[in-house]
Amino acid sequence: MDPGTIGKWIIISGLVLAAVGGIIWIAGKMGIPFGSLPGDISIDRPGFSFRFPLGTSILVSIILTILLNVIIWIFRK
């Protein structure tokens, strides 16, 4: 892989990360409770708490998949 290709993929990765961060930030401003969506596992006991954001992880995965597919589709044209 030549340096030009690596550089292009680093820039694309940064743009995708910034876009996902912007989406999460805007969703937080709109009142969407990331981290406490339906499907997120939360166990609270005296002296112990466990949180596993399963629903949030699935949602972020779907958003990233769509975003990456659109970006790849644009670059293949």
- Are 35 and 27 within 8 A, CB to CB? no
Q: Does the pLDDT of residue 74 top 80, yes or no?
A: yes
What CA–CA distance (Å, rounded) separates 8 from 72? 12
| Residues in Cβ contact with 43 at an 8 Å cutoff, skipping those fewer than 6 apart | 49, 50, 51
- Taking only the tens place, the pLDDT of each residue in 40-69 is 898 999 999 999 989 888 988 998 898 889
> Distance of CA 76 to CAs 5, 70, 72, Å?
14, 10, 6
What CA–CA distance (Å, rounded) separates 47 from 4? 52
Q: Note the pTM of the prediction, 2 decimals.
A: 0.58
